[in-house]
Amino acid sequence: MHEIALALLALDHIYHEKSLAEYEEASRLVEKRVQKMFPGFTVAYAVEIGAVSVGDRAYQHGGVAHVLLPIPDKRKEEEARFTPVQV
C-alpha cells in the first residue's frame, strides 16, 4: 500500500508541475499498478471543500488529491435492480 500512496502523491506533484503529456503517462502507469494490486479500484482526482471556522471568522478551504476509488460492479447493480422481491 505504501508504494501506491507514494505514487498518488507523485501524481499530485506531476499534475501541478509537469506537462499534460507527462501527467497522462504517469497516470496510466499508476492506474496499471493499482489495477494489479487492488482489483476493483481506480485512481480519481478528488476535491475536498469545507468551511473552517476560527472565532468569528469562517473561510472556505479545500484541497485536491489523487485517491483510490472503488469501481461499482455493474453486474451486481443490474442484478439488484431486476431481482424480484417476494412478499
pLDDT at 11: 94
Q: Could you state, in order of their start, the residue ranges of all structural domains in the chain?
A: 2-43+70-82
Task: Compute CA 69 distance to the chain's CA centroid, rounded to the nearest angstrom.
Answer: 5
Residues in the chain: 87
- State pLDDT tens for residues 20-64: 999 999 999 999 999 999 999 999 988 776 655 665 665 555 678
Does the structure show a pLDDT above 80 at 1? no
Whole-angstrom distance, CA of residue 22 vs CA of residue 46: 20
- Higher-confidence position of 36 and 1: 36
pLDDT at 19: 95
Helix, strand, coil share (%) of the chain residues, nearest 5? 50, 30, 20
- Higher-confidence position of 81 and 48: 48
- Ranges assigned E (strand) in 1-87: 41-54, 57-70
The per-type count for the chain, helices as H runs and strands as E runs, is 3, 2
